[in-house]
Every structure is written in C-alpha cells, then in structure tokens.
Amino acid sequence: MQDRRFGFATRAIHAGTPPDPVTGSRVMPLYQTAAFVFGSTEQAAELFALRSYGHIYSRISNPTVAAFEERMASLEGGLGAVAFSSGLAAQLGVVLALAQNGDHLVCSQNIYGGTITQFTVLLARLGIETTFVPADDHAAIAAAIKPQTKLLFAETIGNPGGTVADLDALSAIAHAAGIPLVVDNTFASPYLCRPIEHGADIVTHSATKFISGHGAVIGGVVVESGTFAWESGRFPLLSQASPGYHDKVFTETFGEYAFLMRLRAEVLRDVGAQMAPMDAWLLLLGLETLPIRMEAHVRNARAIAEFLSQRPEVDWVSYPGFASHPQHALAQKYLPRGAGSIFTFGIRGGRDAGRAFIDALELWSHLANVGDMKSLVIHPASTTHSQLGDEEMRKSGVAPESIRLSVGLEDADDLMWDLDNALRQAQGRLASEASNSKTPA
C-alpha cells in the first residue's frame, strides 16, 4: 500500500490532506491565523535560521496553504510548490528568484497580454530585459539566448490564440543553453498536461482558473521539478552567499530544494504576495473535482467548436482539437485527453460584429476570466490585450474579430442555443445599420 503510485483522481482528493491527527476532521482544517506560537526560544531561533522546518508567520507558510502546495506538487509531478496570491505574482516570484538587474529572459510571444506587460514594463524597470520570440520558431528561440539569460518562458496553450507549445523541443533548447524551461500550465491544468514530464523545470498556474473551477478565488502557484542543476554558477542568487539570509548559500544548504527555499524564504517573504489560508482551503475543494470537470469541459468545448465551424456567421475557429489547426499534432501529443476548453473564433463583420454578438448573449457571461464552471466570453482586442500595440497584438495571435470562449459545464444544447441567437442578432444588427447608412436623408 505504501509503495503504490495512486492515480490522478485519487491524489486530487487525498494528496496533502490526511485526516487531522488532533480532531479527526476529514476535511483539511482552515488555519485562519497570522502567526504561530514557538515552543521555546531555541525553536524560534532554529526556524528563523532555516535550520528546521515549521510555521512562523502566514506570509511565509501556513498549514492550509501547505496542504494545497503539496497537492499541486503531487498532481504536477514536482518536488514541491510555493503558493502565491495570484498567477502573475507566482510568475513574478519565479523571475525574482533567478534574475536581477542586468539579466535577460526569453519568452514566447504567444501568451497572455498581462504577462507581456509584466515582462516588458515592470521587469524592464527593474533592469531585466525580455526577448519575445514565436513559440514555434525554435531556431530564433535558441539564437535569442544570451550568457545572462536566466530562463525560457512559454504557455502550454497560448492565451488566447491556442498555440500549443512543443515542450520537448523547448526543454531541449533551454537545457542545451543551461537555463530552465518555465511553463505556464493554466489553460491545460495538470489533468490535461504535466509539463514536467516533457522536460519543464518549473510550472506556474493561475489557480484562479481550472484549479478553482468556480471563479471564486484569486491565486497562483509555482511547482518545481527538483531536477535542474542550480549550482552551475549561472544563478548567483542561488549559488552565492545571500545577504538576505545570513550569507547562506541556498544550493549548498538545501541541495535540490535550493530554488524552492529561496522562492519562499526570500522572495515570498519580502514581496508579501502570499496566498490567504481561506483561498487555499477553497482551492483544495476545487481540486477534488478537477478530473471530472476537465472531462466535461473538453467534451463541451469540442461540441461548441464544431457547432461554430459550421456557422455562416463565423469566418474561422482556432481550436487545437481540429485537424486543421497548425498545432493539432502537438495537441495530440501533449494533450491526449483533450485540447482544453478555451479557444477563439473570428466573427464575420469584425470588431463591430463581435461587440454586437457579445451584447446579445444571455447565458454566456461577459467577463475577464476563464476556467469557470460557467461559460465565459470576451473580446480580447478591447479587453485582455488592449494594453498592447497593434503589432504586439498581432504577434500574440489577437485579431480585431477574435472572440475568446471559455466553455463551461452547462448543457451544450443550451450553450449552442444562446450562441445561435447572438450570431443571428449580431448579423441582423449589422445589416440594419448598413441599410440605414445607405438611406438618403
């Protein structure tokens, strides 16, 4: 029994949460506390010197948050995890754990607009440069890596264009250059893809999405594989004496845990972007249903994509599950259980038609989120990617007519009924406006 490797669904329910040894509670208790009492002055000194493990202050660690971290590490197949207050905070934590002024990153350009802004504006102000390269241009990615490059960043499924990253190829490029591959796995979730199995060294999530599943929590998490050689000398923040912790050398002191310990003990401690215990408790509940939710998400998304592909009001559908998609072979390789439930389509009539379509929907919710049990819709060019210039938007895969759908768990027939009505109304409105514009005054 002790040697058994339990299945994904079993670990989604049980990992990190044995019955409470004090009360017998089967549900993980919510430790809603700011700080923890020390047993003695000696124990307090040991904890603060990182010579023993325990909880000091919930900005650094908390038992409920730790249970969520353990479960996520189990599901992603990693050595350990550190939770943050949001997905953007999680990926910022990764960068700050490895890079400093004068350093460089290489990043796929087919990613979330907020990540592009974080890297091009915030990190640039800190003196960290980023080069963006198309995710499928492997030669350009390899050429972009410099001696001061600290990581290669990509998304499993690009937001919003649906570009599927070739993880094996990217990990080979990164490792040949001596840098880690960091993968945002938000759109796939560990149920559909586990990037560590394909060579990724660090995985991030916006836990707000599928990990929660209910649109009720903001959170992020970082999972590390535990296999990268941080002691190579390329990462002085880990392999040289740290003035932030008594000149401790993380690689010498913590070995394979060096990255995770610096991420928690220095970055999380100093940035203060910790996950709240209540949020971790809700995320643990969300993870218990992740496998069955993802199966239903994928099933509904396929039905909706096929429905839209047959509509005369739709110019194109970008869904990796279709054989016509440029990354369909990669989707079959890395996403064998399904190509996710978030995709885009182009409505005939461009930006004006898109707005009319969204305004006509009744069941689909118009908001800036994905991965909810409820079906969601948004026009990226005027919302999630609106901070980008036209050229940046084009490179990230966003067109003026693009509509992004996050397909939920409602009855597919009801979702298609709503889409049908909205498509008809949008085209009718455009036709009416065109007719009125031709009418003589």
Handedness of CA 318, 321, 323, 326 (dihedral sign): positive
Mean pLDDT of the chain: 93
CATH of domain 8-287: 3.40.640.10
Quote the Cα angle for 282-83-186, to 5°.
80
Instruction: Please provide the DSSP assignment of 379-431 as one string.
Output: -GGGTTTTTS-HHHHHHTT--TTEEEEE--SS-HHHHHHHHHHHHHHHHHHHH
Q: What is the pLDDT, as a whole number, of residue 11?
A: 96
**Topology adopted by domain 290-433:** Aspartate Aminotransferase, domain 1 (3.90.1150)
Q: pLDDT by residue (tens digit) across 18-53?
A: 999 989 999 999 999 999 999 999 999 999 999 899
Residue 10: partners with Cβ closer than 8 Å, 6 or more residues away: none
Query: Is the N-terminal amide bond of 134 cis, ω within 30° of 0?
Result: no
Q: How far apart are CA 90 and CA 248, in angstroms?
A: 23
Q: Among 196, 211, 192, 183, which residue's Cα sits nearest to residue 68?
A: 211
pLDDT at 86 over 90: yes
Q: How far apart are CA 216 and CA 6, in angstroms?
A: 29
Q: Which residues pair with 198 in a beta bridge?
A: none
Question: Cβ(81)–Cβ(69) under 8 Å?
Answer: yes
Q: What is the pLDDT, as a whole number, of residue 441?
A: 52
Q: How far apart are CA 341 and CA 329, in angstroms?
A: 17
Residue 101: exposed, middle, or buried by beta-carbon count in 10 A (0-12, 13-18, 19+)?
Answer: exposed
pLDDT at 438 over 70: no
Read off the tokens for 401: 């007519």
Average pLDDT estimate for 152-156: 97
Question: Cβ(400)–Cβ(163) under 8 Å?
Answer: no
Query: Is the N-terminal amide bond of 160 cis, ω within 30° of 0?
Result: yes
Long-range contacts of 137-140 (CB under 8 A, 24+ apart): 138/166, 138/169, 138/170, 138/173
Q: Where are the domains of the chain?
A: 8-287, 290-433
Q: What is the pLDDT, as a whole number, of residue 58?
A: 96
Q: Among 135, 146, 71, which residue's Cα sits nearest to residue 103?
A: 146
The full length of the chain comes to 441
pLDDT at 439 over 60: no
Q: pLDDT by residue (tens digit) across 205-231?
A: 999 999 999 999 999 999 999 999 999
Q: Which residues pair with 365 in a beta bridge?
A: 376
